[in-house]
């Protein structure tokens, strides 16, 4: 099988609240990735867990997290395998935060998926703004996502990314790609103006790290 996009949705937190949920139908055995941002001064969520079904699945914070110069703290959480059919995901903080939002994507087709590359771009300006390059990827079959937030608004997610929409009120946008070559990529969004953050992450099957050695016949 190859990487397959299933669905996505996004949501924002009500100002001052300590949690919010993203409603999305999630299927057992598939994978899910969440990218979002919040105010720079607040700590990261204390939990990102699934809703619905039996028990719950906890997302793991990846190494792709940090802050912009003034306004934003960004984060990427990943769940390699959903243990049951779920109805969405809830993010919770220790106390209320001034603002936060996130995109949630579901994908399938990669065996034991892991993060391959995570890249970020921050700054201030208008027009197309990008992350740094991923460098050559580990596999020619990967699922990639991009997220952009802005002090004003992200206007678009340009090709070759497929746009997954805009979060009302915050103006953040997200998108995805199915990668069929291991060529380096960048995450790109179109910023209206002001400070921005762009985050892109790619996911490979764990077998993408395998190296086949030739057999030596004696």
**Per-residue DSSP letters for 78-134?**
EES--SS-EEEEEEE-SS--S-EEEEEEEEE--SSEEEEEEEEEEEE-SEEEE----
Report the alpha-carbon distance of residue 131 to residue 118 in Å, rounded. 9
Q: Check residue 216 and give its pLDDT.
A: 32
Quick one: which of 174, 168, 205, 204 has its CA closest to 188? 174
In contact, 91 and 103? CB cutoff 8 Å: no
What is the pTM for the complete model shown? 0.94
Question: SS3 of 5, please?
Answer: strand
Q: What is the pLDDT of residue 32?
A: 98
pLDDT tens string, the chain, 218 residues long: the values are 799 999 999 999 998 999 999 999 999 999 999 999 999 999 999 999 999 999 999 999 999 999 999 999 999 999 999 999 999 999 999 999 999 999 999 999 999 999 999 999 999 999 999 999 999 999 999 999 999 999 999 999 999 999 999 999 999 999 999 999 999 999 999 999 999 999 999 999 997 543 333 333 32
pLDDT at res. 208: 53
Strands 113-124 and 154-156: unpaired
pLDDT computed for residue 158 by the predictor: 98
């Amino acid at each position: 099988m190859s990487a397959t996009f299933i669905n996505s949705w996004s949501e924002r937190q009500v100002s001052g609240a300590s949690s919010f949920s993203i409603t999305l139908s999630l299927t057992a055995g598939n994978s899910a990735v969440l990218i979002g941002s919040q105010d720079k001064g607040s700590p990261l969520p204390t939990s990102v867990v699934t809703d619905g079904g039996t028990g719950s699945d906890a997302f793991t914070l990846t190494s792709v997290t940090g802050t912009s110069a003034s306004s934003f703290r960004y984060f990427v959480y990943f769940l390699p395998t959903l243990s049951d059919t779920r109805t969405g995901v809830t993010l919770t903080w220790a106390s209320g935060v001034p603002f936060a939002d996130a995109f949630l994507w579901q994908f399938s087709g990669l065996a034991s998926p892991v993060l391959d590359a995570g890249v970020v771009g921050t700054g201030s300006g208008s027009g197309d703004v990008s992350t740094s390059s991923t460098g050559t990827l580990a596999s020619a079959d990967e699922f990639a996502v991009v997220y952009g937030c802005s002090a004003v608004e992200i206007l678009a997610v340009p090709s070759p990314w497929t746009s997954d929409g805009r979060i009302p009120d915050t103006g953040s946008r997200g998108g995805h790609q199915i990668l069929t070559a291991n060529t380096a990529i960048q995450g790109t969004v179109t910023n209206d103006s002001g400070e921005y953050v762009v985050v892109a992450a790619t996911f490979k099957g764990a077998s993408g790290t395998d190296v086949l050695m030739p057999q030596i016949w004696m």
